[in-house]
Structure 1
Amino acid sequence: MAKTILDIAQITGVAKSTVSRYLNGGSVSEATKRKIESVIKETGYVPNTFAQSLKAKKTNIIGTIVPRLDSYAASQTLIGIDEKLREYQCQMLISNSSQDLEREIENIYSLERQKVAGIILLATQITSAHLEAFRKVDIPVLLVGQQYDGTYSLVHDDYGAAYDMGKYVLSMGHRKIVFLGVTEKDIAVGVRRKEGFQQAVQEAGNCEIKYCETGFAIKDALETACRIIDEYRPSIFVCATDNIALGVLKAAYMKGLQVPTDLSITGFGGYEVTEIIHPSLTTAKFYYKEAGQLAAQSMMKLVNEESIEKVMVSRYKILERESVDKR
């Protein structure tokens, strides 16, 4: 049976509060410290870190809020956060909002009540309710993926990646283009990527381009792409995410089109699956795991009341693969 703090106190012959104080880094005499350490080693006692944190003034738990757990970007970011937090002997507590904004706001308040030291929010959009929650909770909050004035943010260079993708697509001779994006409520994916691509196209001129919206799910992109192919017959789809690109790829084959001979496709993200599918997908790779590590490192600085930049930007790389043909 697992030992408790009371068991350790009884075996050591000290008060339970003394053991608790030792476990939380409080002041304990050297002789008592050696006794407690010896008993813990003999019994194999493992402290309940979460219970400790609830009692301590300063916790070693960082809360993370994700919009969905089945996202490649979110999972890779979480891996990076977890790896870096372990270096600081800290733990990660994950709250999933299931793309429900009200639930996301509730998670912010809930994590504060659970006395986490700080919150890393993998955000898709920021509302007035978010801003109110940030003001009310008395712990640092760091946004990952979105930027808002006055809030600490770590963003991907969505504008720069889209601009470079536009330059690449144009250099391959494509002039009849569909940019398949998402709702502009998502500033990073829905607005910044569109703006970066628009800038590249405007500089080139002489383009016939159609801007369309779809959902984040592959099936939504599949349905939207089938309609667009019938109506517009573009030479290339520039897709705001890799999942959207996968939906377009499926639509192309359903319409009897060969990729990239009949239709070229690009994405954003750099998901692992895009390298092993055929044809492999040309995409803008974002380094999500690396971003997660930077987010955790930055959060620990905030927890320790050290200064960090208000806005940090992670790197990207255009991966030229098989899904784009030269025109």
Structure 2
Amino acid sequence: MKNTITDIAKIAGVAKSTVSRYLNGGSVSDATRRKLDQVIQETGYTPNTFAQSLKAKKTNMIGAIVPRLDSFSASQSVTGLDEELRSQGYQLLIVNTSQDLIREIEALYDLARQKISGIILFATHVTEAHLTAIQEIEVPVILLGQQHPDVHSMVYDDYGAGYDVGQYILNKGHKQIAYLGVTEKDVAVGVHRKQGFQDAIHERDDVVVNFYESGFKMSDAVIAASSILDQSNPSIIVCATDNIALGVMKAAYMKGIRIPERLSVTGFGGYDVTEVIHPSLTTVKYGYSQSGRLAALNIIKLVREESVQPLTILGYDFMDRESVDSV
């Protein structure tokens, strides 16, 4: 991987802004100039032509790249992000990519061209193309919802949440279990959440678990759940998201299956609607709005070149409600 302006700053023992001034012909001391001349010659560093086109002063704008705006988690997080940014004197520019990874990459470059000061990427997948773009634009970026060792990340404790749900349903006596998850391309929801659940369940050898996959949309979950209920008779369906759980509840209603008397259901997310429906949904509640506020504070620190932890783990609350019965 080629050196970046950040690497040059570390090797030379100067601030990133000093390297930027040097590259753009600004004022630096003779000693600093000689030091940077030597480091650049030794490393073979070539300035990023894209980043050099962004010489104008940054704005007070922070960008948010969101895969879908009709998601409860995204809307709540964006609300918290916007409120905190405004209170700190920043404005938010939102880009909706409609779950198109190519548009996500384009959005990173587009926001940088607009002299954006920092970017919050509501990530579902993190590809090499994402990492290349983040490196080239040389704008502070925070991943929200996924993690990568090379990018500041904020993630929910999906493994812990999955483990707690597994322990909970075992304590309720369930032994015939269906788990309705999502693609493992989504590492947080598709892998970590499921892995925590699996590890809890594997502590018992008298339990049968079948794993299935659905899309994120409620309509996808209705179809997947209908197929599961046609082919088997689980006492509980554990759902990777609240949207999937709502789809399962819809499918059960259509088949005349009473919840929780004949079928128990759990979710993850803690959407507002899960508390007011009947029966109310047992779920894991994440603090999306608070997470958005924390993301705002962290990106402002990065913009100001202040220290931020590389990885922030966000907590959750377990909501024991009406949709799970004891067996």
Does 2:201 correspond to 1:224?
no
State the Cα deviation string for residues 154-187 of structure 1 (Å, max 9, x = none): 0011111110011111111111101100000000
Q: What aligned pairs does 1:202-213 form with structure 2 within 5 A after superposition? A: 202-213=202-213
| TM-score normalised by the chain length of structure 1 | 0.82
Say which one has the larger Rg: 1
More off after superposition, 56-65 vs 164-173: 56-65
1:59 counterpart residue number: 59
Give, as a single letter, the amino acid of the residue that structure 1 aligns with 2:115.
Answer: K
| TM-score normalised by the chain length of structure 2 | 0.82
Q: What aligned pairs does 1:125-136 form with structure 2 within 5 A after superposition? A: 125-136=125-136
Distance 2:230 2:139 in 1: 52
Please report the RMSD computed on the Cα atoms of aligned residues, expressed in angstroms: 1.1
Gaps of 5+ in 2: 1-53
Distance 1:317 1:204 in 2: 25
Following TM superposition, by how much is the alpha carbon of 1:205 offset from its aligned partner in structure 2, in angstroms?
Answer: 2.7
Q: What aligned pairs does 1:181-200 form with structure 2 within 5 A after superposition? A: 181-200=181-200
Distance 2:272 2:138 in 1: 38
- SS of 1:203's partner is coil
Following TM superposition, by how much is the alpha carbon of 1:255 offset from its aligned partner in structure 2, in angstroms?
Answer: 1.2
Distance 1:240 1:114 in 2: 37
Distance 1:248 1:164 in 2: 21
Q: What aligned pairs does 1:1-327 form with structure 2 within 5 A after superposition? A: 57-327=57-327
Distance 1:127 1:55 in 2: 28
Give, as a single letter, the amino acid of the residue that structure 2 aligns with 1:182.
Answer: V
More off after superposition, 111-120 vs 54-63: 54-63
- SS of 2:169's partner is helix
- SS of 1:243's partner is helix
Distance 2:259 2:283 in 1: 15
Following TM superposition, by how much is the alpha carbon of 1:55 offset from its aligned partner in structure 2, in angstroms?
Answer: 9.4
- SS of 2:230's partner is helix
Give, as a single letter, the amino acid of the residue that structure 1 aligns with 2:226.
Answer: C
State the Cα deviation string for residues 67-107 of structure 1 (Å, max 9, x = none): 00100000000011011111210000000000011011100
Following TM superposition, by how much is the alpha carbon of 1:58 offset from its aligned partner in structure 2, in angstroms?
Answer: 2.9
Give, as a single letter, the amino acid of the residue that structure 1 aligns with 2:213.
Answer: E
Distance 1:67 1:310 in 2: 23
Give, as a single letter, the amino acid of the residue that structure 1 aligns with 2:279.
Answer: P
Distance 2:175 2:114 in 1: 54
- SS of 1:185's partner is coil
- SS of 1:268's partner is strand
Give, as a single letter, the amino acid of the residue that structure 1 aligns with 2:109.
Answer: Y
State the Cα deviation string for residues 128-163 of structure 1 (Å, max 9, x = none): 111111111111010000011111000011111110
Following TM superposition, by how much is the alpha carbon of 1:56 offset from its aligned partner in structure 2, in angstroms?
Answer: 5.6
Distance 1:145 1:226 in 2: 29
Distance 1:220 1:138 in 2: 39
Following TM superposition, by how much is the alpha carbon of 1:57 offset from its aligned partner in structure 2, in angstroms?
Answer: 1.0
2:50 counterpart residue number: none
Distance 2:88 2:61 in 1: 10
Distance 1:307 1:230 in 2: 54
Distance 1:146 1:325 in 2: 33
2:9 counterpart residue number: none
Distance 2:112 2:175 in 1: 51
Q: How many residues align?
A: 274
More off after superposition, 277-286 vs 79-88: 79-88
Following TM superposition, by how much is the alpha carbon of 1:198 offset from its aligned partner in structure 2, in angstroms?
Answer: 0.4
Following TM superposition, by how much is the alpha carbon of 1:314 offset from its aligned partner in structure 2, in angstroms?
Answer: 1.1
More off after superposition, 55-64 vs 224-233: 55-64
Gaps of 5+ in 1: 1-53
Following TM superposition, by how much is the alpha carbon of 1:217 offset from its aligned partner in structure 2, in angstroms?
Answer: 0.5
Distance 2:126 2:58 in 1: 28
Distance 2:215 2:92 in 1: 30
2:8 counterpart residue number: none
Following TM superposition, by how much is the alpha carbon of 1:204 offset from its aligned partner in structure 2, in angstroms?
Answer: 2.6
- SS of 1:253's partner is helix
Distance 2:149 2:203 in 1: 29
